[in-house]
Structure 1
């Protein structure tokens, strides 16, 4: 289910939202590597609680597009590359973006309220955990119909939560908030009645 077999061109065509998000994150990371301008870009978007307290509310969004090093970027973008396409395909572009952005934003909001003024953070992990949460909601509704999804997603969620609390320098508030928000949004999006309404054929206007 999560094995990517598409060619590069097929992947871009079939999953434009995921492709765009990966591209934006990579481009911004490359910008942060440039002399002078790189530091300015990073500092301008850094999730710094003390600056949010002063009214710089864009920092509740911009940290989602910044990463603290290549491995940080690689881990998050690889997760998006593998798991994002299935959610984009199942939910549609607009709903996928809703899960991604709201999970990421609420992850930043949780970070602001949980940690002290000196706390700073970057990374798309809250949004990535939102994707896992949305899949968790899909598992909740499908249960026996998609056993393969359940066998893959539940261990990944469990492992992700465990690593959140035992790994170094991990923003636990963003991870857990993103996971919960993604799950709650998924409960709404993937409710059986709503899915049926998606699939109803649209009436053809008479001429």
Structure 2
């Protein structure tokens, strides 16, 4: 499930939504990065109008609950998140289908960002795809705990290890949006039974 051996063309064909998400993240990051040298102001405008900022959300700018999912300012941040999406998202897109995967990814990210809005102070700001990615882990955990017919023992071990490492890093590393991670994860777990209701078989399991 988590070993990627497709070539570029096949990957895009099999996982169009994942490909689009990664592409959007990279393109937006490059626009923000290049703005430092071109001084067009486009990158600044994107960040300023799209970053999660609780005071702005309270003022009525509700799109900021979604747009931060696609915003990254530093190269390590966008690299790590895109790599995580590349590894863990394709199997779920194939399993859930395009539309349910979109609901899973955006829904978990939205739940995580909504929790940040509700429980963090008005001056709090945030960005990054981590909440949505943790939502995917929440779906995998539901499979491990409840829908064991959809995941084998080998991949179960991988998920458990990744979850433990992810939760540890959430509390250890500085500048981590802890609530976004935890509630994104919880959001994925809550959405999982509805998204997996009609799924009877995992194509990765023979």
The CA deviation at 1:187 is 2.1
Please point out which of 189, 196, 199 is paired with 1:195. Answer: 199
- Aligned partners of 1:189, 1:117: CA distance in 2, in Å? 33
- Which residue pairs with 1:31 in the alignment? 31
- Which residue pairs with 2:3 in the alignment? 3
Aligned residue pairs: how many?
A: 195
Please point out which of 94, 99, 104 is paired with 2:104. Answer: 99
Cα distance change of structure 1 residues 82 and 196 upon mapping to structure 2, 3 Å threshold:
closer
Please point out which of 154, 160, 169 is paired with 2:166. Answer: 160
The CA deviation at 1:53 is 1.5
The CA deviation at 1:196 is 4.1
- Which residue pairs with 2:204 in the alignment? none
Please point out which of 35, 46, 53 is paired with 1:48. Answer: 53
For the pair shown, the structure with the greater C-alpha radius of gyration is: 1
**Is 1:176 matched up with 2:176?**
no
Deviations 1:21-55 (A, max 9, x none): 11111111111122221111111101111111111
TM-score (norm 2): 0.90
The CA deviation at 1:68 is 2.6
- Which residue pairs with 2:132 in the alignment? 127
Q: CA RMSD in A?
A: 1.5
Please point out which of 44, 69, 91 is paired with 1:86. Answer: 91
The CA deviation at 1:99 is 0.6
Please point out which of 52, 61, 77 is paired with 2:82. Answer: 77
- Aligned partners of 2:103, 2:147: CA distance in 1, in Å? 21
- Which residue pairs with 1:141 in the alignment? 146
For structure 2, list consecutive stretches of 5 or more residues without a partner in the other structure. Answer: 202-206
- Aligned partners of 2:45, 2:195: CA distance in 1, in Å? 39
- Aligned partners of 1:46, 1:184: CA distance in 2, in Å? 26
The 3-state SS of whatever aligns with 2:73 is: coil
The CA deviation at 1:159 is 1.4
The CA deviation at 1:141 is 2.9
Stretches of 4+ moved more than 4 A in 1? Answer: none
